[in-house]
């Protein structure tokens, strides 16, 4: 509807459109991201989607790439319907998609080479092609020297290049890049665009679809789609659009295209010159340096900022801007150098200094769960502003910042621009003298950005507040009184922006910045070293490639290749993630100790005391029997009164008090069957019960055996009992508990690791690689599962070794069959983790849900504490289904009972049946597209 008016204004598109969108509506919960969009994108062009954050750019690109499910409307890409899975499967090798976020779909633990090679494998490049193609791409993008560096340790620009290599590895017809240059330094940005131009030159038919928040970049592109609030504002060539709005650049043009009510109140920003005469220096940093390990984040930064100045810090993500700020605010101690605010050091006794400081962190740093008013009031309270003063101040700020209508809404529910204003209001509430703002305007639309700057200018010029601001927008840099250009921890230049431009003879700040960066690179001695290393790498890769025979792989072989690509990928990730590695191996060993020693039903060394009122030979002989079983009873001094006895029972000093009444001996000799009172501590019920039975047991044994001191024969007409404690003749709980602990641990840990590994991909974004590559569900799941099965099997061996040498419980039965059973069991348990991962969406939820869902049935219903044969009703039913029941039987059987292999067969068969069922459920639950 909207677009039909504009379609005519689009330039003559050669042939069919590459993408055709009709009546698409997309919602996230209640929020509408795309509001009835129709759009035809001409093919063979460089097409830009422009607009601020949150207007639906990313959603539209994800729909086109096929990584998101279409909710309403139709999306046709490369002559096919993207709602149709068959078309997607055919077309996905022709589409390359790089999602938003620096290196979002990269595996940060893996090296640059491995990341690109992984994508190549998923797209079915043969073993010989992979190293050649990857090397080609890395050389072309200048990543050659860094092939072996982990992706997580690259700068933002380099990460984007790796992402691009991954996207280009299979020669796509449609390249979709979602904000590829956001947060990237200007030099890398320029290199990136040159690279894209080169690629387009070599593949003229390729269509490129790019979104960006930097409007100036889009100026040079062929065709523009301007978007706002889920709608298309206009389409056309940049020239056309600028002409239509009478604008001199795209940013102005965009504001001109916005609907009237959004533009209202927007005026060209005017910055009055800094009028304050040479005044005191408020921020002073000398040789500020910060190292993290061997990495130097900030390298000898020296600055001095005068009172009332707006000082800008310009640089890309990860160049050390935020770290410098943290050192200035005293959040981070510096490794070298000093920083002073108002002449005093920030670290020592800094309370007074901090009162004069206002700070706004990079992300929105207020409490989203509190309302606007609560956020403001909390801040006033923490700065101890008297109530009346605080009230007027808050009123004043609310008015000035336009927060009035939102006072009682939650901070989380505000749009980005308003949130930033609230943050600023909170930061200036206590009337600070210095305001430190860390990228306050990223993700804010141009209109809101200008109104934010108005507030800043007001603060600086009218109230004399010194403002220190970081940004990666060049046009914001132009608004500062002075700026520092920063790159990889170093300040390249520092002066008024206009002067910097003049000094380099450049046309704009960006060019000047690039010129400074190129100088810095030319000076730096590194570069040559890295290259040699990379060469060695590449040649070794080539060799391994040559040793393979070449043939065209069948579709089954392709599937297998993709599965093993995931296996390799997952294995390397775990090996390089110390926390998960420790959890998977040390965790089970530690828990084995805790469970093995913690769950024990042995009651031994029970402390008892006697209260002997008789003191006859008989009473002493009776008590002697207790002292004579040291495994069970430990004698403590006799008590002299029943009150003392009770007191000692109360204080947990003794657990049994044996009271022998007066005349016990005489009555015994006369056959009057005298009483003996045993008082047992029953606070802990199980233990009390057991102790009571020990007492009874000692008593009975003594009476049946005349040799034991009391002159009596066995009572007539009673049966005797022969107790045969099978499998565990000494009746020690280690023999029962230790073999069942692996059954518990081998469900808990593999299931958690498995669930986390899949949910982690969802959370961090690398799941997109599964959405947009031809990888099938089963290939993905098996590829993820195999490494964890291997880990679990290794765990089994570790636990068996511990059982043997720490607890002294060897395996009596067939080790081979138990191993087979374990293999099936851990395949099942990782399968359970897989199923859980289909319905959890955060790693935390995955951990807790898996823990709760696996521990309860395993402890309660599978025979760990209570034999399954004694369970009833639903518990019995659950125990019958839960795989641990079967493994528990085999494990306890093999360790303690030494049962024969054929008795393990039913367990093995049951577990083998579980596996395909779990696979099927996981495949049903796993989505091939994002919701």
Positions in 884-923 near other proteins (CB under 8 A): 889, 892-893, 896-897, 899-900, 903
**243, 498, 686, 913: which one binds other proteins (CB under 8 A):** 686
29 part of the interface to other proteins, by CB under 8 A: no
C-alpha dihedral sign at 135, 139, 140, 143:
positive
Nearer to other proteins, 30 or 716 (CB): 716
DSSP character string of 131-191: HHHHHHHHHHTT-GGGTTSBGGGS-HHHHHHHHHHHHHTT--SEEEEESTTTT--HHHHHH
641 part of the interface to other proteins, by CB under 8 A: no
Nearer to other proteins, 498 or 870 (CB): 870
**142, 265, 333, 527: which one binds other proteins (CB under 8 A):** 333
For the segment 382-401, give every residue that binds other proteins (CB under 8 A): 382-384
What number of other Cβ atoms are within 10 A of residue 399's Cβ? 10
- Please, what is the minimum distance in Å from the beta carbon of residue 602 to other proteins? 5
CA 697 to chain centre: 57
Whether residue 600 contacts residue 740, with contact meaning beta carbons closer than 8 Å, is answered with no
725 part of the interface to other proteins, by CB under 8 A: yes
720 part of the interface to other proteins, by CB under 8 A: yes
- Please, what is the minimum distance in Å from the beta carbon of residue 652 to other proteins? 6
**688, 709, 765, 776: which one binds other proteins (CB under 8 A):** 688
- Please, what is the minimum distance in Å from the beta carbon of residue 389 to other proteins? 16
**752, 772, 781, 835: which one binds other proteins (CB under 8 A):** 752
H-run or E-run covering 26: strand 17-28
What is the x/- site pattern for other proteins, positions 552-591, by CB under 8 A?
---------------------------xx--x---x--xx
Whether residue 16 contacts residue 79, with contact meaning beta carbons closer than 8 Å, is answered with yes
Nearer to other proteins, 191 or 350 (CB): 350
Nearer to other proteins, 566 or 694 (CB): 694
- Please, what is the minimum distance in Å from the beta carbon of residue 376 to other proteins? 12
Q: Candidates 37-45, 264-272, 568-576, 693-701 — which segment interacts with other proteins by CB under 8 A?
A: 693-701
Take residue 549 and report the two structure tokens written for it.
């025979």
What is the x/- site pattern for other proteins, positions 593-632, by CB under 8 A?
-xx-xxxxxxxxxx---------------x----------
Q: Candidates 137-145, 356-364, 398-406, 824-832 — which segment interacts with other proteins by CB under 8 A?
A: 356-364
DSSP character string of 855-872: HHHHHHHSSSSS-GGG--
**367, 564, 585, 878: which one binds other proteins (CB under 8 A):** 367
**84, 198, 287, 292: which one binds other proteins (CB under 8 A):** 292
**69, 219, 304, 374: which one binds other proteins (CB under 8 A):** 374
Whether residue 65 contacts residue 928, with contact meaning beta carbons closer than 8 Å, is answered with no
Report the alpha-carbon distance of residue 612 to residue 616 in Å, rounded: 9
499 part of the interface to other proteins, by CB under 8 A: no
682 part of the interface to other proteins, by CB under 8 A: yes
150 part of the interface to other proteins, by CB under 8 A: no
For the segment 647-676, give every residue that binds other proteins (CB under 8 A): 649-652, 668, 671, 673-676
Report the alpha-carbon distance of residue 173 to residue 663 in Å, rounded: 105
681 part of the interface to other proteins, by CB under 8 A: yes
788 part of the interface to other proteins, by CB under 8 A: no
Query: Residue for token digits 């190292």?
Result: 291
C-alpha dihedral sign at 155, 161, 163, 165:
negative
**267, 718, 874, 931: which one binds other proteins (CB under 8 A):** 718
Report the alpha-carbon distance of residue 365 to residue 210 in Å, rounded: 30
For the segment 167-226, give every residue that binds other proteins (CB under 8 A): none
Nearer to other proteins, 385 or 491 (CB): 385
Whether residue 47 contacts residue 210, with contact meaning beta carbons closer than 8 Å, is answered with yes
275 part of the interface to other proteins, by CB under 8 A: no
* Residue 895: half-sphere exposure toward Cβ, Cα within 13 Å: 27
C-alpha dihedral sign at 264, 266, 267, 268:
negative
**How many residues in total does the chain contain?**
931
Whether residue 593 contacts residue 807, with contact meaning beta carbons closer than 8 Å, is answered with no
Beta bridge partner(s), residue 303 = 285
The residue count for binding other proteins (CB under 8 A) is 136
Nearer to other proteins, 359 or 473 (CB): 359
Q: Candidates 197-205, 239-247, 360-368, 776-784 — which segment interacts with other proteins by CB under 8 A?
A: 360-368
**386, 523, 685, 874: which one binds other proteins (CB under 8 A):** 685
Whether residue 592 contacts residue 745, with contact meaning beta carbons closer than 8 Å, is answered with yes
- Please, what is the minimum distance in Å from the beta carbon of residue 334 to other proteins? 11
DSSP reduced 3-state for 37? strand
Strands 633-635 and 656-660: unpaired
294 part of the interface to other proteins, by CB under 8 A: no
Report the alpha-carbon distance of residue 299 to residue 155 in Å, rounded: 16
- Please, what is the minimum distance in Å from the beta carbon of residue 675 to other proteins? 5
Q: What is the CA radius of gyration of the chain?
A: 37
For the segment 398-457, give every residue that binds other proteins (CB under 8 A): 410
684 part of the interface to other proteins, by CB under 8 A: yes
What number of other Cβ atoms are within 10 A of residue 731's Cβ? 12
Main-chain phi, psi angles of 265, to 5 degrees: 85, -5
Report the alpha-carbon distance of residue 204 to residue 202 in Å, rounded: 6
Q: Candidates 134-142, 192-200, 500-508, 727-735 — which segment interacts with other proteins by CB under 8 A?
A: 727-735
Nearer to other proteins, 446 or 739 (CB): 739
DSSP character string of 543-565: HHHHTSPP-PPPHHHHHHHHHHH
868 part of the interface to other proteins, by CB under 8 A: yes
- Please, what is the minimum distance in Å from the beta carbon of residue 775 to other proteins? 24
**69, 74, 304, 362: which one binds other proteins (CB under 8 A):** 362
Nearer to other proteins, 615 or 870 (CB): 870
Question: DSSP alpha helices (H): ranges in 288-444?
Answer: 321-328, 351-355, 372-382, 387-400, 416-428
H-run or E-run covering 12: none
User: CB-based burial of residue 663 (10 Å sphere; 0-12 exposed, 13-18 middle, 19+ buried)?
Assistant: middle
Report the alpha-carbon distance of residue 301 to residue 716 in Å, rounded: 99
Q: Candidates 114-122, 233-241, 331-339, 527-535 — which segment interacts with other proteins by CB under 8 A?
A: 331-339
**276, 381, 794, 797: which one binds other proteins (CB under 8 A):** 381
Strands 80-81 and 72-77: antiparallel
Nearer to other proteins, 368 or 617 (CB): 368
- Please, what is the minimum distance in Å from the beta carbon of residue 726 to other proteins? 6
CA 855 to chain centre: 23
736 part of the interface to other proteins, by CB under 8 A: yes
- Please, what is the minimum distance in Å from the beta carbon of residue 302 to other proteins? 22
Strands 72-77 and 17-28: antiparallel
Take residue 643 and report the two structure tokens written for it.
């009150």
- Please, what is the minimum distance in Å from the beta carbon of residue 711 to other proteins? 10
715 part of the interface to other proteins, by CB under 8 A: yes
- Please, what is the minimum distance in Å from the beta carbon of residue 189 to other proteins? 23
Nearer to other proteins, 30 or 86 (CB): 30
For the segment 30-69, give every residue that binds other proteins (CB under 8 A): none
Question: DSSP alpha helices (H): ranges in 305-415?
Answer: 321-328, 351-355, 372-382, 387-400
């Amino acid at each position: 509807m909207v677009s039909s008016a504009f379609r005519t204004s689009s330039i003559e598109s050669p042939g069919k459109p590459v993408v055709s969108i009709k009546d698409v509506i997309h919602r996230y919960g209640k929020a509408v991201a795309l509001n009835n969009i129709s759009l035809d994108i001409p093919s063979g062009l460089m097409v830009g989607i422009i607009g601020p954050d949150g207007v639906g750019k990313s959603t539209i690109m994800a729909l086109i790439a096929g990584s998101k499910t279409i909710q309403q409307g139709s999306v046709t890409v490369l002559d096919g319907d993207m709602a149709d899975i068959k078309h997607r499967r055919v077309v996905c090798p022709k589409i390359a998609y790089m999602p938003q976020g620096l290196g979002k779909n990269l595996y940060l633990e893996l090296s640059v080479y491995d990341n690109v090679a992984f994508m190549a494998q998923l797209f079915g490049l043969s073993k010989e092609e992979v190293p050649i193609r990857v090397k080609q791409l890395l050389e072309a993008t200048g990543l050659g020297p860094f092939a072996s560096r982990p992706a997580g340790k690259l700068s933002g620009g380099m990460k984007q290049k790796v992402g691009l290599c991954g996207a280009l590895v299979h020669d796509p017809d449609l390249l979709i890049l979602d904000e590829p240059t956001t947060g990237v330094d200007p030099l890398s940005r320029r290199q990136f665009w040159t690279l894209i131009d080169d690629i387009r030159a070599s593949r003229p038919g390729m269509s490129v679809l790019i979104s960006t928040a930097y409007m100036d970049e889009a100026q040079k592109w062929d065709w523009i789609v301007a978007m706002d609030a889920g709608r298309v504002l206009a389409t056309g060539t940049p020239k056309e659009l600028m002409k239509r709005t009478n604008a001199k650049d795209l940013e102005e043009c965009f504001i001109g295209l916005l609907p009237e009510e959004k533009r209202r109140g927007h005026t060209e920003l005017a910055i009055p010159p800094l009028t304050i005469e040479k005044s005191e220096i408020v921020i002073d940093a000398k040789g500020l340096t910060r190292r993290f390990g061997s990495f130097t984040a900030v390298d000898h930064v020296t600055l001095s900022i005068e009172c009332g100045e707006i000082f800008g810090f310009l640089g890309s993500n990860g160049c050390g801007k935020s770290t410098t700020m943290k050192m200035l605010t005293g959040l981070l101690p510096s490794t070298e150098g000093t920083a002073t605010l108002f002449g005093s050091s920030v670290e020592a006794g800094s309370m007074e200094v901090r009162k004069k400081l206002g700070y706004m962190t990079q992300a929105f740093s207020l409490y989203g769960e509190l309302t606007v008013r609560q956020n403001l009031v909390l801040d006033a309270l923490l700065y101890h502003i008297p109530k009346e003063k605080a009230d007027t101040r808050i009123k004043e700020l609310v008015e000035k910042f336009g927060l009035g209508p939102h006072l009682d809404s939650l901070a989380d529910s505000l749009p980005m621009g308003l949130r930033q204003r609230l943050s600023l209001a909170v930061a200036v509430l206590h009337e600070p003298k210095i305001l430190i703002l860390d990228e306050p305007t990223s993700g804010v639309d141009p209109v809101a950005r200008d109104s934010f700057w108005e507030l800043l200018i007001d603060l600086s010029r009218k109230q004399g507040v010194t403002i220190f601001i970081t940004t990666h927008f060049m046009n914001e840099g132009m608004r500062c009184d002075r700026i520092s250009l920063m790159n990889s921890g170093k300040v390249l230049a520092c002066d008024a922006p206009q002067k910097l431009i003049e000094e380099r003879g450049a046309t704009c700040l960006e060019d000047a910045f690039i010129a400074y960066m190129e100088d810095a690179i030319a000076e730096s001695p590194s570069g040559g070293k890295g290259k040699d290393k990379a060469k060695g790498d590449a040649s070794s890769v080539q060799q391994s490639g040559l040793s393979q025979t070449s043939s065209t792989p069948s579709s089954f072989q392709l599937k297998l290749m993709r599965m093993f690509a995931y296996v390799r990928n997952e294995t390397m990730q775990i090996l390089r993630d110390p926390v998960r590695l420790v959890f998977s191996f040390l965790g089970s060993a530690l828990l084995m100790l805790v469970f093995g020693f913690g769950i024990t039903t042995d009651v031994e060394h029970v402390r008892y005391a006697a209260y002997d009122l008789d003191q006859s030979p008989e009473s002493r002989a009776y008590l002697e029997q207790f002292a004579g079983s040291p495994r069970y009873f430990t004698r403590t001094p006799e008590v002299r009164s029943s009150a003392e006895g009770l007191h000692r029972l109360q204080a947990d000093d003794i657990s049994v008090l044996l009271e022998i009444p007066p005349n016990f001996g005489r009555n015994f000799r006369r056959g009057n069957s005298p009483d003996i009172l045993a008082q047992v501590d029953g606070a802990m019920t199980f233990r009390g019960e057991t102790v009571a039975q020990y007492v009874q047991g000692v008593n009975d044994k003594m009476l049946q055996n005349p040799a034991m001191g009391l002159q009596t024969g066995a009572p007539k007409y009673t049966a005797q009992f022969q107790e045969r404690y099978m499998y565990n003749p000494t009746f020690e709980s280690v023999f029962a508990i230790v073999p069942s602990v692996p059954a518990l641990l081998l469900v808990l840990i593999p299931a958690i690791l498995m669930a986390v590994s899949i949910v982690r991909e969802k959370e961090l974004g690398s799941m997109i690689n599964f959405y947009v590559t031809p990888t099938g569900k089963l290939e993905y799941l098996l590829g993820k599962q195999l490494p964890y099965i291997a880990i679990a099997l290794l765990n089994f061996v570790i636990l068996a070794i511990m059982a043997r040498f720490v607890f002294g419980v060897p395996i009596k039965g067939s080790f081979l069959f138990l191993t087979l059973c374990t293999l099936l069991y851990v395949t099942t348990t990782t399968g359970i983790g897989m199923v859980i991962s289909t319905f959890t969406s955060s790693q935390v939820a995955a951990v807790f849900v898996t823990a709760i869902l696996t521990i309860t049935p395993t402890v309660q219903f599978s025979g760990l504490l209570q034999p399954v044969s004694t369970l009833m009703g639903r518990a019995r039913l659950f125990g019958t289904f839960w795989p641990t029941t079967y493994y528990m039987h085999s494990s306890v059987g093999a360790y303690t009972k030494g049962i024969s292999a054929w008795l393990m067969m039913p367990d093995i068969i049951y577990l083998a049946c579980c596996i395909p069922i779990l696979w099927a459920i996981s495949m049903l639950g796993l989505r091939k597209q994002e919701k």
